[in-house]
Structure 1
Amino acid sequence: MTQFMQTSAYAGVTISLVAYGLGAFLKRKFRFGLLNPLLISIIVTILLLIGCNVDYETYNEGAKYLSWLLTPATVCLAIPLYEEWELLKNNAKAVVLGILSGVLTSLVTVLVLSKLMGLSHENYVTLLPKSITTAIGMGVSEELGGYVTITVAVIVITGVLGNIFGELICKLFRIHEPISKGLALGTAAHAIGTAKAMELGEIEGAMSSLSIAVAGILTVIFASVFAGLI
């Protein structure tokens, strides 16, 4: 296995896909929220790398090809939005205000917690794009002087938590409106949250898809302002 990891150009892709497939299988079989396919694939991949004594750079040489699919995959989320276009137009004000409040809440939360914990400027700006899709968040972090690798990890963790607990939180606060649930999942947990929204329904998925793009744009705009506060 170690030799395969170090010599094959596609070892990283193979391991990533197999690990994700295992996670998807476990989720379908047991239907338990914590068995999130992405979370399982991360854990399995880390264990394999540690067990085979393979460093991240070697693994990423093969896995980097998956990153090329991030942007087109995000663009494809426009399809369910197009199918619910009339619904979007009829609720335009609520949608815009909902996404805007979600973005500002995320940024303010990071600001307050960073001040309370005494984080450095670099650590602070690393966390600012935590709730937007990786394709946009990496660029924001790099532009602001953050640690891009850590930003990616934080974005993934945020998405996984949103995917696992998003539906439960909506139930606890008695949020039943499909548009509200979709906006919340997309704004707070980007593409991974959108995967959950699509499981809940077409309207939830469409609104969540919209939230990814709009929240990403708003975060790019406001993050540069918030970056100067610490």
Structure 2
Amino acid sequence: MNLIVSCPGCGLRGRLPDNLLGLKTIVCPKCRTAVPVAELLNRASPVADDSFPIWVDGEFTSAALAQAPQVPAPSKAEEPVYAGDFMKEEAARFEQYVAARLGELHKKRRELAEAECKFEALTMQRKQELHRQQGALAATSDEVAKRESDLQAREAALQAREAELAARETKVSRSDQRAADLDRRAAELRVTLDQLEGRRAAVAEERSALERRAAELDRIELALHRRSAELDELDERLRQEQEEWEQSHERTR
């Protein structure tokens, strides 16, 4: 079905293209009157006849809309009947419109081709950058792997160091235990030494007493020797006196 509209200014009738339904205002191709699309749709009538020309204008610009006179819509009784004299003019306008749209389409195609070329160049540049980044990432991965290997070696060395420190700590603990045992034994020895010192003092005192006793015994022995010598001398004198007495007694007989 076709929507047949009529201009309220000059009464031009024609088919309204579907791609113009989204506009708010269009210009009559004959009298250049700006007509709201909503008003045209209200006055439109659907028909199956394709003999009506397409009502289209190639200059739908804001300047054309501003210069177009605003004519109030006449009543339905005043609408003139389209006589079909503008078929060629409308066909020419349509061809101009199609040519303009084709020119715009070719221009957009060229712009699209240029955009595609730019996009391909940018894509190639991005791919090169991606390859470069992948190479850098591979180098970084190798460096990271090398660092991980170094870290593993350092970790192994650290574990060996920790094992050595643990062994040393065990030795230190044993040494501390032995030192504690030695301290305990030293304390016991100090007690024993104190006891020995006490006994030594007692022994020294006893020795001093014994030495005094020995000195006294020496004096007694010396006195006994002197007494013994005196007794020997006295015994010798008595023996001599007895011999003298016996001799004198024999002489007296």
- TM-score interval (norm. to shorter): under 0.3
Quick one: higher RCO (CA 8 Å, sep 6+), 1 or 2?
1
Normalising by structure 2, we get a TM-score of: 0.15
